[in-house]
A and B are shown apart, each in its own frame.
Chain A
């Protein structure tokens, strides 16, 4: 499973998204279930899945799926196809 697929699975699971609703350019504002509690869940999920623990500042700064990818890539986790 690629890192992109892992991230997609994780976010679908946390945000209760149907696969047809998921896109890598999805923004937080567009997802009703991307609430404050899910921010914590995403941070926990990223640590479990990718081994990286986001700082609270990073977690709050995340405005969309692309921001998560940028943060993880900065830590050496590749999302290249």
Chain B
């Protein structure tokens, strides 16, 4: 069993309006036993962050779950394409099966522990770390991630034969806090939940000299893995490798990626109500993509991150790749309508770029993209606002009051 295994007497609360159980993230402050107890029980439970969703929304969502999903399921929250919460219901047996498949593909036999730098309510950390540790009886080391960098550094330094799961947007934090450190005890390094940090591989190999690095692709509805590749197996971040055994993926005429998977979520609840997912359903991942000649897959962007501007197709992931090639700090885009009514984007850098750094970014944009692709403005913030899962908080970016303006198109 995982090292932290004390049980909680009453780990879950049962809501007044449903018979399903809610496990809040803060319940884990006393130990991981609360989660172990919920998982081991037969009743369906949902595991939710302390913030980010209101009780009325959650109670309403849970009241929509039919009785036949009352056992052997678990629920996690994600945000849908609209930014509204979405409750995803997984099946315990399906997810345990996925964990076993991942264990083989990622050669996790020698791994004795996994270090958490992401909230366990995030499906990536929940499945790839907590459930993996539970199923294979390995140690789970929960940290507060980069909010307590000293403790994180200590945990990483003390780790032996450990795995670490990160999202790409945490790499600038790694650069900021541990620019010279090396953590030889980390032997597997996983990325998921966003763009793979291909351009930082040299830096990552310096910090984790003994780690095999993997790019995991999926989505919450897949609960959550669909494809996998080793870092060295492809030259660019958009290539996500081949589908896991049993997973089918296809792109429709508009290049929207759809999947069928034996490990997928069994249902989800959004603002439109309860939706059961069947084996026959092709489920959208929310990304655009294409299959390559060798059977692997390449992402073309989030379906909501690709748009037309002056008749040209703008891909924010492609623009971000250009920016990241010239800028080692954080970078993210938010969307805006320009004065002529066209869709546009604004680039935010963090921390504030120097004059030469700004010029490097502009020159990289000029070299690789025509003017319609250039951002309306380049702004900066001292710190990039991040969601609990480590991804940039796009709404927070657009709402931030103290952005500095460095460059703008004159329209």
Chain A interface (Cβ within 8 Å of chain B)? 13-14, 16, 18, 33, 35, 37-38, 40-42, 44-45, 48
Given A16-B362, A18-B363: A35 and B371 within 8 A (CB)?
yes
In the complex, B230 has a CB within 8 A of chain A: no
Given A13-B407, A14-B410, A48-B410: A37 and B372 within 8 A (CB)?
yes
Cα of A58 to Cα of B335 in the assembled complex, Å = 33
Contacts of B362 in A (CB 8 A): 16
Q: How large is the interface on B (under 10, 10 to 19, 20 to 34, 35 or more residues)?
A: 10 to 19
The minimal Cβ–Cβ distance linking A38 to chain B, given in whole angstroms, is 6
Q: Which residue of B lies closest to A45 (CB)?
A: B410
Contacts of A35 in B (CB 8 A): 370-371
Q: In the complex, given contacts A13-B407, A16-B366, what are 15 additional A-B residue pairs having Cβ atoms less than 8 angstroms apart?
A: A14-B409, A14-B410, A16-B362, A16-B365, A16-B374, A18-B363, A33-B366, A33-B371, A35-B371, A37-B310, A38-B371, A40-B411, A44-B410, A44-B411, A45-B410
Cα of A14 to Cα of B371 in the assembled complex, Å = 10
Contacts of B371 in A (CB 8 A): 33, 35, 37-38
Between A and B, 7 residue pairs with Cβ closer than 8 Å are: A16-B362, A16-B374, A33-B371, A37-B372, A40-B410, A40-B411, A42-B410
The minimal Cβ–Cβ distance linking B409 to chain A, given in whole angstroms, is 6
Contacts of A40 in B (CB 8 A): 410-411
The minimal Cβ–Cβ distance linking A14 to chain B, given in whole angstroms, is 6
Cα of A33 to Cα of B368 in the assembled complex, Å = 11
The minimal Cβ–Cβ distance linking A39 to chain B, given in whole angstroms, is 11
The SS class assigned to the A binding surface is helix
The minimal Cβ–Cβ distance linking A36 to chain B, given in whole angstroms, is 9
Q: Which residue of B lies closest to A13 (CB)?
A: B407
Contacts of A41 in B (CB 8 A): 409-411
Cα of A40 to Cα of B372 in the assembled complex, Å = 13
The minimal Cβ–Cβ distance linking A46 to chain B, given in whole angstroms, is 9
Q: Which residue of A lies closest to B407 (CB)?
A: A13
Interface 0/1 of B322-362, CB less than 8 Å to A: 00000000000000000000000000000000000001001
Cα of A21 to Cα of B257 in the assembled complex, Å = 43
CB pair A16–B363 under 8 Å, yes or no, is yes
Cα of A13 to Cα of B407 in the assembled complex, Å = 8
Q: Which residue of B lies closest to A10 (CB)?
A: B410
Contacts of B374 in A (CB 8 A): 16
The minimal Cβ–Cβ distance linking B245 to chain A, given in whole angstroms, is 48
The minimal Cβ–Cβ distance linking A47 to chain B, given in whole angstroms, is 9
Cα of A12 to Cα of B409 in the assembled complex, Å = 12
Cα of A41 to Cα of B377 in the assembled complex, Å = 13
Contacts of B411 in A (CB 8 A): 40-41, 44
Cα of A41 to Cα of B371 in the assembled complex, Å = 11
Contacts of A45 in B (CB 8 A): 410
Cα of A35 to Cα of B370 in the assembled complex, Å = 9
Contacts of A37 in B (CB 8 A): 310, 371-372
> Which B352-411 residues sit within 8 Å CB-CB of chain A?
359, 362-363, 365-366, 370-372, 374, 407, 409-411
Q: Which residue of B lies closest to A40 (CB)?
A: B411
Cα of A64 to Cα of B363 in the assembled complex, Å = 21
Most chain A Cβ neighbours within 10 Å, of B310, B362, B409: B409
Cα of A18 to Cα of B120 in the assembled complex, Å = 47
Contacts of A18 in B (CB 8 A): 359, 363
Q: Which residue of A lies closest to B374 (CB)?
A: A16
Cα of A41 to Cα of B408 in the assembled complex, Å = 10
The minimal Cβ–Cβ distance linking A49 to chain B, given in whole angstroms, is 10
Cα of A45 to Cα of B407 in the assembled complex, Å = 13
Cα of A15 to Cα of B249 in the assembled complex, Å = 42
Cα of A42 to Cα of B371 in the assembled complex, Å = 13
